[in-house]
Amino acid sequence: DAGVTQSPTHLIKTRGQQVTLRCSPKSGHDTVSWYQQALGQGPQFIFQYYEEEERQRGNFPDRFSGHQFPNYSSELNVNALLLGDSALYLCASSLTGGQNTEAFFGQGTRLTVV
């Protein structure tokens, strides 16, 4: 059973560019959350997708947007990249409605903005 997979694993972009990160949830999961982990910090919640809609959002600007597809996979898009967007981006999947569920995390995408 494949867990949460993210692509690419590493990415280097230039300031002002746009980037798309991808996530495939664990089999059987229907909810995808995205987190940003800056160096030396804990992960910060960006947003969560369920039933192809953004259900919750953290304190991130509109430059950060996302999408969820019918197969539950998800994309995170960041426009007008800033140096401060350099971080490890983590995707987590879970099952909404289950009482004994947990979030499973992918390995992350390391984004470097130069």
Distance (Å, rounded) from C-alpha 75 to C-alpha 92? 12
Q: Are the C-beta atoms of residues 13 and 33 closer than 8 Å to each other?
A: no
Q: Is the C-alpha dihedral spanning 59, 60, 61, 62 positive or negative?
A: negative
18 vs 109 by CB, closer to another protein: 109
Q: Which of 7, 17, 18, 56 binds another protein (CB under 8 A)?
A: 56
Q: Which one of 20-28, 63-71, 75-83, 94-102 is the stretch in contact with another protein (CB under 8 A)?
A: 94-102
Q: Which one of 11-19, 70-78, 79-87, 92-100 is the stretch in contact with another protein (CB under 8 A)?
A: 92-100
81 vs 108 by CB, closer to another protein: 108
Q: Which two tokens stand for residue 27?
A: 């089999």
